[in-house]
Structure 1
Amino acid sequence: MKTICKIHIPGRMTLGLEFPLDNDWSLEGEKKRKKQRRPFGIPDISKHTELIKLADKLGFAALWMREVPVYDPGFGDGAQIFDTLSYLGYVAAITDSIAIGTAAVVLPLHDPLQLAKAIATIENLSESRYLFGVGLGDRPVEFPLFGFDFETRAQRFVLNHEIIKEAWKEQSELNQYYEGLSNEIQVYPKPKNEIPWILAGRAKQSMDWIAQNMQGWFNYPRDVKDTEVLVREWKNALYDNNQASKPYISAFHLNLLKDADAPFTPHRFGGSVGINGLTQLMRLYELAGVNHMALHLRKSEVPVDEALKLIGQEVLPHFYPLSLQNSNV
């Protein structure tokens, strides 16, 4: 089977978006949230269908969704509220060309066979547009709720990765992981194409393991200088392990300002800038070696629908040529 990765154009950078596609962390968004009496971190998703379809139509390369099993006020983040895997099925049905990815599924919290079936289902129904972003999980409160030990999550991460890969084989041999299981037992559906694994963070694994077992590395938002260092580390790990080019992915918390000419001002995980400076800013990350950037709009001063249209008209053509939208790389 061929690995299909719709976000990777070697030597270039594509642009995507992070859910929940709201701007609750802006001043106006904060006022609206308080008026609606929503807890901090619980987004307004009333226009989510409209915004998802708009992102697809405008030609963004991917939509990324986080998994947050339970809302913890201490973290103040409810992600996109809906169950990640169920929601991905819905997103696949209402879109045509945009890739849909997880950044990330908390791999140690899942039963691997159930997850293998769910992910392969999404891959089949989306016509291989799914990017399987996985992570280790960093919230101790979640693990005992699901009956798992927080301290051994790194070992469980590796084991679940192995079991899922085995389950997706045309003739899997799951009995090597489950005592007494017949080797005729299979999990269906099988993926139509090889599903790209994308690791968010390091999952307490070595760079050699990541390079050998993942088809992309999703790193947390950093400034351009620090990003360059990590891109170099990724490329060195790929070279040392005789791996082909694989995408380096990151995110950027963008406060798109209403003043189109406003200069860039950095803040934690991103920065504020007007639309006329955004292309130049993203170009710096492209030159640093980022292959895909997921824009996070929760702080955007410009309303999300307007922000998507502005970015689609003014910025996307510089990073994701329309002629390459349907390329499989």
Structure 2
Amino acid sequence: MKTICKIHNPGKMTIGLEFPLDNDWSLEGERKRKTEGRPFGIPDIKMHTELIKLAEELGFSALWMREVPVYDPNFGDGAQIFDTLAYLGYIAGITKSIVIGTAAVVLPLHDPLQLAKAVATIENLSESRYLFGVGLGDRPVEFPLFNFDFETRTARFVLNHNIIKEAWKNNSELNQYYEGLSNTIQIYPKPQKEIPWILAGRAQQSLNWIAQNMQGWFNYPRDLEDTRNLVIDWKNALYDNNQATKPYITAYHLNLLKNPNAPLIPHRFGGSVGVNSLVTLLKQYEEAGVNHMALHLRKSETPLKEALTLIAEKVLPHFKIEETQKETLYVH
């Protein structure tokens, strides 16, 4: 079996990246954006293929992307611009070992049968490297565009979760969700292996529900103390619900400074820091119980190609999983 990068090694932390692969929120990136006439929050993704392949070659364990269906200037964030599911299919074809994940697909905005087929397709094409991260959605402007009610999205989240799980079963019985549907109707392809569900945020669900129904929890960037407390809550919920160890995942908005010895200056969702102090910072998150950290580099003073290479050289060796510990993707 082909070796696949693993994101969960209990007691250790692995390092991934969050799309888009551009530093358009840095001072230099902002200058370039204005020169090129791009709206704020629309990154330059001309080098995306090169950077994706470089991330895999350098040993980053995962690539994560969010779903932003429409660009709203009030939010000023176009994410990675490309459609999430189509882009995942492309990435599956140009990579071999790196995990690809969503954090997150806005589950209530999708037809569950279409989404079940698309996600199973990505899982097949990537040879089971896909982590299906889902979220509730928090932008009211998006929901009426897709003829959905923002206020009922929580119930639709749970319903879509149940329908997709049923659709992936062999000899699934979708007629229990669709009146008048023949019980012989099936959605293909079926997943080659069980697809791990990762919840981004809470989706207005209890921690007990998350522990029972998800294979990992992707929480929003927080400082060390808040992260430590949430990891404890997560571990307690897993224990109370008789669940095996499941990863706690988070992100960090990193401004990688050009001075390698620059100390940490915290900011919202992350901080500015030199590469030498970055090792210490990430070790603190590992000690707090984080199993996987997705670095978000849109604010990076250091250009992306240089930043990835520097992190791979100076940081990744401190979070390396030994070859004997590598196994298939599954996090449960």
Superposition TM-score, scaled by structure 1 size: 0.97
Identify the residue that residue 51 of structure 1 maps to in structure 2: 51
The Cα of 1:322 is off from its aligned counterpart by: 5.5
Give distance in 2, aligned partners of 1:325 and 1:139.
Answer: 40
Identify the residue that residue 33 of structure 1 maps to in structure 2: 33
1:309 aligns with 2:284: no
Identify the residue that residue 198 of structure 2 maps to in structure 1: 198
Identify the residue that residue 277 of structure 2 maps to in structure 1: 277
* 1:207-246 map, 5 Å: 207-246=207-246
The Cα of 1:87 is off from its aligned counterpart by: 0.2
Give distance in 1, aligned partners of 2:106 and 2:261.
Answer: 40
SS of structure 2 residue aligned to 1:71:
coil
The Cα of 1:321 is off from its aligned counterpart by: 3.0
Instruction: After superposition, give the CA deviation of every residue in 1:266-319 in whole Å (9 maximum; x if it has no partner).
Output: 000000111111111100000000000000000001000000000111111111
Give distance in 2, aligned partners of 1:254 and 1:322.
Answer: 26
One-letter amino acid of the structure 1 residue matched with residue 264 of structure 2: F
The Cα of 1:210 is off from its aligned counterpart by: 0.4
Identify the residue that residue 166 of structure 1 maps to in structure 2: 166
Identify the residue that residue 76 of structure 2 maps to in structure 1: 76
CA RMSD of aligned residues (A): 1.1
Identify the residue that residue 124 of structure 2 maps to in structure 1: 124
The Cα of 1:6 is off from its aligned counterpart by: 2.6
* 1:15-34 map, 5 Å: 15-34=15-34
Give distance in 2, aligned partners of 1:28 and 1:223.
Answer: 26
Is residue 5–residue 196 contact of structure 1 (8 Å, CA) maintained in 2?
no
Note the residue ranges of structure 1 that are not aligned, 5 or more in a row. none
Instruction: After superposition, give the CA deviation of every residue in 1:85-121 in whole Å (9 maximum; x if it has no partner).
Output: 0000001111111000000000000000000000000
Is residue 56–residue 97 contact of structure 1 (8 Å, CA) maintained in 2?
yes
The Cα of 1:198 is off from its aligned counterpart by: 0.2
Give distance in 1, aligned partners of 2:111 and 2:10.
Answer: 35
Give distance in 2, aligned partners of 1:61 and 1:31.
Answer: 31
Is residue 5–residue 61 contact of structure 2 (8 Å, CA) maintained in 1?
no
Residue range with higher mean Cα deviation, 309-318 or 110-119 = 309-318
SS of structure 1 residue aligned to 2:151:
coil
One-letter amino acid of the structure 2 residue matched with residue 44 of structure 1: D
Instruction: After superposition, give the CA deviation of every residue in 1:196-223 in whole Å (9 maximum; x if it has no partner).
Output: 0000000001111100000000000001
Instruction: After superposition, give the CA deviation of every residue in 1:167-194 in whole Å (9 maximum; x if it has no partner).
Output: 0001100000001111100000000000
- Number of matched residues? 326
* 1:110-149 map, 5 Å: 110-149=110-149
Give distance in 1, aligned partners of 2:281 and 2:23.
Answer: 21
Is residue 228–residue 288 contact of structure 2 (8 Å, CA) maintained in 1?
yes
Give distance in 2, aligned partners of 1:324 and 1:262.
Answer: 35
One-letter amino acid of the structure 1 residue matched with residue 10 of structure 2: P
Q: After TM superposition, where is structure 1 displaced by more than 3 Å over at least 4 residues in a row?
A: none
The Cα of 1:23 is off from its aligned counterpart by: 0.3
Is residue 59–residue 325 contact of structure 1 (8 Å, CA) maintained in 2?
no
One-letter amino acid of the structure 2 residue matched with residue 31 of structure 1: R
Identify the residue that residue 288 of structure 1 maps to in structure 2: 288
One-letter amino acid of the structure 1 residue matched with residue 287 of structure 2: L
Give distance in 1, aligned partners of 2:32 and 2:327.
Answer: 40
One-letter amino acid of the structure 2 residue matched with residue 288 of structure 1: A
Give distance in 2, aligned partners of 1:55 and 1:13.
Answer: 17
The Cα of 1:320 is off from its aligned counterpart by: 2.4
Instruction: After superposition, give the CA deviation of every residue in 1:22-49 in whole Å (9 maximum; x if it has no partner).
Output: 0011110000000001000000001000
Give distance in 2, aligned partners of 1:326 and 1:126.
Answer: 17
Identify the residue that residue 264 of structure 1 maps to in structure 2: 264
Give distance in 1, aligned partners of 2:6 and 2:275.
Answer: 25
Is residue 5–residue 97 contact of structure 2 (8 Å, CA) maintained in 1?
no
Is residue 97–residue 326 contact of structure 1 (8 Å, CA) maintained in 2?
no
